[in-house]
C-alpha cells in the first residue's frame, strides 16, 4: 500500500480529485492511502497563522518553519518512515521515471505544498529530502502539482488499471506517442474510419497502429523517437513513412 501524506494550507483543493475515477478506485482497492492535512493545524496562537512577511522586505508572504517541523514531527511519531518531498518551481523535473521510483517507495511520501512567495529556507535545509517541479510554468502553489504526482504514481500501482489498460502500457509502446483511435460510427461528418481497422485482420491492424504511432512520434516528438527502443520492423516502417513524405 502506497501511503501519501499531503501538507497544505488549502486541503479543499484535494477533495474532488481524490474522490473520482482512478484515484478513488486505487484507494477503495487498498492500493493507495492519501491523507490530506492542513498546516494551520500545527500553527501557534489564536489565529493559527502559518505564514509571515519576508525578512529583508519585499512583496508576498513566506511559509513559517515551525508549523511544518511540528507537522513532520507528529507524522514521524506514528507509522512508517517518511520521504519528504517539497513541490517547488526550483525542484527537479517530474517525469515518468520519477513516478515509477516514487510508486515503488516503502516509506510514506510526504508532499509538502508551498504557496505565496515560498517557504522558509530552513525547511529545505532541515526537513526536505527531495524537491520536485512538474514543469516550466508558474502555478499559484504546490497543490495541483501534488495531485499530478499522486495520480502518476497511483496508476502505476499493480492492480490500479484494468487488464486492457495495462496491456496498452506494455513496454512495446514505451517511449512512443499513441496511435489514432476510432469508435462508431464508421462515417462521421464525411470523415471515415481507416479501412484496415474495419477489416478484422489483426496482424495488419497491429502493423498500422505501430506505423501511425511512429509517424506521430516522428512528427511531434522527434526527441522521444531518438530515445525509443526500435525494432527492425520499426525501422522498416519508418523508411516507409519517410518515402511517403
Ligand atoms: C512569483 C513568484 N516566483 C518568483 C520567481 C516564484 C514562485 C514561487 C511559487 C513561482 C510559483 C510558485 C508557486 N508554484 C509552486 O509552488 C509549484 C510549481 C510551479 O509553479 N510550477 C511547476 N511545478 C511546481 S511544483 C510547485
Atom of ligand 1 lying closest to residue 117 CA: 8
Q: Is the CB of 175 under 6 A from ligand 1?
A: no
| Tens of pLDDT, residues 191-223 | 999 999 999 999 999 999 999 999 999 999 999
Answer yes or no: is 75 within a domain.
yes
Strand locations in the chain, DSSP E? 2-8, 32-38, 51-52, 62-63, 82-93, 108-113, 118-119, 130-133, 187-188, 191-192
One domain for residues 231 and 134: no
Verify whether residue 117 is a known catalytic residue.
yes
| Tens of pLDDT, residues 159-181 | 999 877 776 667 778 899 999 99
One domain for residues 115 and 79: yes
Q: Residue 123 belongs to what domain range?
A: 2-154
One domain for residues 135 and 86: yes
How many domains are there within the chain?
2
One domain for residues 25 and 145: yes
pLDDT grade for 92, boundaries at 50, 70 and 90: very high
Q: What's 132's domain CATH number?
A: 3.40.1280.10
Residue at which a domain ends, from 107, 128, 154: 154
One domain for residues 27 and 128: yes
Which three cell numbers, joined as nine digits, stand for 46? 489564536
One domain for residues 145 and 237: no
Verify whether residue 89 is a known catalytic residue.
yes
Q: What's 189's domain CATH number?
A: 1.10.1270.20
Q: Is the CB of 89 under 6 A from ligand 1?
A: yes
| Residue 62 to residue 245: CA distance in whole angstroms | 55
Amino acid at each position: 500500500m502506497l501511503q501519501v501524506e499531503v501538507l497544505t494550507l488549502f486541503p479543499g483543493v484535494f477533495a474532488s480529485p481524490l474522490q473520482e475515477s482512478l484515484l478513488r478506485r486505487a484507494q477503495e482497492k487498498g492500493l493507495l492511502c492519501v491523507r490530506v492535512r492542513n498546516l494551520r493545524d500545527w500553527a501557534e496562537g489564536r489565529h493559527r497563522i502559518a505564514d509571515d512577511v519576508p525578512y529583508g522586505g519585499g512583496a508576498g508572504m513566506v511559509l513559517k518553519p515551525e508549523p511544518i517541523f511540528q507537522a513532520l514531527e507528529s507524522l514521524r511519531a506514528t507509522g512508517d518512515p517518511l520521504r519528504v518531498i517539497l513541490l517547488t518551481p526550483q525542484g527537479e523535473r517530474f517525469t515518468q521515471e520519477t513516478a515509477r521510483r516514487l510508486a515503488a517507495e516503502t516509506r510514506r511520501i510526504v508532499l509538502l505544498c508551498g504557496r505565496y512567495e515560498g517557504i522558509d529556507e530552513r525547511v529545505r535545509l532541515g526537513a526536505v529530502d527531495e524537491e520536485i517541479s512538474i514543469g516550466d510554468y508558474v502555478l499559484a502553489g504546490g497543490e495541483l502539482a501534488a495531485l499530478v504526482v499522486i495520480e502518476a504514481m497511483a496508476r502505476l500501482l499493480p492492480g490500479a488499471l484494468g487488464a486492457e489498460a495495462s496491456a496498452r502500457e506494455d513496454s512495446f509502446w514505451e517511449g512512443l506517442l499513441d496511435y489514432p483511435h476510432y469508435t462508431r460510427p464508421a462515417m462521421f461528418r464525411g470523415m471515415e474510419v481507416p479501412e484496415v481497422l474495419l477489416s478484422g485482420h489483426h496482424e495488419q491492424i497491429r502493423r498500422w497502429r505501430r506505423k501511425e504511432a511512429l509517424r506521430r512520434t516522428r512528427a511531434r516528438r522527434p526527441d522521444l523517437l531518438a530515445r525509443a527502443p526500435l525494432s527492425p520492423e520499426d525501422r522498416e516502417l519508418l523508411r516507409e513513412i519517410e518515402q511517403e513524405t
